[in-house]
Amino acid sequence: MSDFKKGDVVQLKSGGPNMTIQDLGDYSFGGNSENGALCVWFDKTKSEEKVFDLAVLDKVSAAAFTVTSI
């Protein structure tokens, strides 16, 4: 069972931007039935989204959050 939930801030284990989990569900990866996370983030002012396998995500601690203004 995953300890991820909607609203968690996550990052790819390999690095990248902080992303927010918008939804968790059964997303098929290559025909396998796996739990995945629909993540959203901003690239400057453009909203991006993508589904990731939970195995490639790490939670970001609240202490690591940075606040930026647009």
List per-block mean pLDDT (blocks of 10 residues) for the chain, which spans 70 residues.
87 95 81 80 94 93 66
Question: What pLDDT sits at residue 56?
Answer: 93
**70 lies in some domain:** no
Domains: count for the chain: 1
Task: Determine the structural domain holding residue 53 and report its residue range.
Answer: 9-59
Whether the Cβ atoms of residue 4 and residue 54 lie closer than 8 Å to each other: yes
Whether the Cβ atoms of residue 21 and residue 6 lie closer than 8 Å to each other: yes
Residue ranges of E strands in 1-70: 9-12, 19-29, 32-43, 46-53, 57-59
Question: What pLDDT sits at residue 1?
Answer: 46
Question: What pLDDT sits at residue 66?
Answer: 65
**65 lies in some domain:** no
Return the amino acid letter for 24: L
End-to-end Cα, the chain, rounded Å: 37
Cross-strand pairs, 47: 42
**67 lies in some domain:** no
